[in-house]
């Protein structure tokens, strides 16, 4: 990316073309035609980008619609982001809603709100409070999902440590109480890991080394290697110990 001295600043409403910049700042309503390469990109308001974004830091306070791929070292979202392509970031900080039609790859994906990924999501750490929908596979060393304000649906989860709980601590989202946080559930086909703790999860297969099935779970089959515990308020239709 280098040290580009050009800046792009949009105040108000504008249609502009992409290119290579040092800093991009959008205040208001901008439509950018083409790809955007920059060191830092900040959006206060609305941005529509018809191409790809490649940046070190992407800050969105408001709304961004990106028709291509997004690649950044850090993505900070406070608002809403829709990406038609793929998203990749070392640090993906979620405060709001992120919808990605492709794949998401990250080092650390964390925060709260709503995350919808149509295909795969891969990270070192995935720690999200809220509602998560992943069309295919969520794969992370560490998966922490704190269910809040709506159901989560993940086709398949793979990881070393997997924790699924209901969120209790989030007073910041108390205005979302109308969503009945007490009823949020996770639905999955398959959950596979080493250390697994689940609450309020409906799954076909849970497979791992050490498994704890907590309250509110409904699991068709549990396959465990070392240890298995089940809450009295959980349903496990079949369990098998693997040698």
Summarize pLDDT for 82-132 with one digit per residue, the tens: 999 999 999 999 999 999 999 999 999 999 999 999 999 999 999 999 999
In this structure, how many other beta carbons lie within 10 angstroms of the beta carbon of residue 131?
22
At 3 the pLDDT is 53
Residues of the chain with pLDDT under 50: 1-2, 181
CA-CA distance, 85 to 107, in Å (whole number)? 18
pLDDT value for 231: 97
Nearest residue to 66 (alpha-carbon basis) of 10, 18, 4, 6:
18
Among residues 47, 44, 40, the alpha carbon closest in space to that of 83 is found at 47
Q: How far apart are the first and last CA of the chain?
A: 53
Predicted pLDDT of residue 1: 47
Q: What is the number of other CB atoms lying within 10 angstroms of the CB of residue 48?
A: 16
Inter-residue contact 176 to 131 (CB < 8 Å): no
- Select from 175, 205, 199, 173 the least CA-distant residue to 186: 199
167 Ramachandran zone, left/alpha/beta (phi>0; psi -120 to 50): beta
Distance CA 190, CA 210 (A): 16
pLDDT of residue 179: 52
């Amino acid at each position: 990316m280098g040290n580009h001295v050009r800046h792009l600043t949009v105040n108000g409403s504008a249609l502009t073309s992409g290119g290579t910049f040092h800093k991009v700042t959008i205040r208001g309503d901008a439509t950018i035609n083409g790809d955007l390469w920059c060191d830092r990109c900040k959006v206060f308001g609305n941005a529509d980008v018809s191409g790809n974004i490649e940046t070190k830091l992407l800050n969105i306070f408001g709304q961004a619609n990106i028709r291509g791929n997004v690649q950044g070292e850090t993505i900070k979202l406070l608002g809403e982001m829709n990406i038609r392509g793929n998203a990749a970031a070392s640090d993906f900080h979620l405060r709001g809603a992120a919808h990605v039609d492709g794949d998401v790859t990250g080092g650390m994906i964390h925060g709260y709100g709503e995350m919808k990924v149509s295909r795969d999501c891969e990270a070192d750490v995935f720690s999200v409070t809220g509602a998560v929908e992943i069309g295919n596979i969520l794969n992370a060393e560490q998966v922490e999902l704190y269910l809040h304000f709506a159901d989560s649906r993940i086709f398949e989860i793979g990881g070393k440590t997997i924790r699924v709980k209901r969120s209790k601590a989030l007073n910041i989202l108390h205005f979302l109480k109308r969503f009945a946080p007490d009823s949020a559930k996770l639905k999955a086909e398959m959950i596979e890991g080493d250390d697994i703790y689940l609450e309020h999860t409906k799954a076909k297969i849970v497979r791992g080394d050490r498994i704890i099935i907590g309250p509110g779970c409904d699991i068709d089959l549990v396959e465990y290697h070392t240890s298995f515990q089940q809450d009295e308020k959980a349903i496990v239709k079949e369990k098998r110990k693997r040698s």
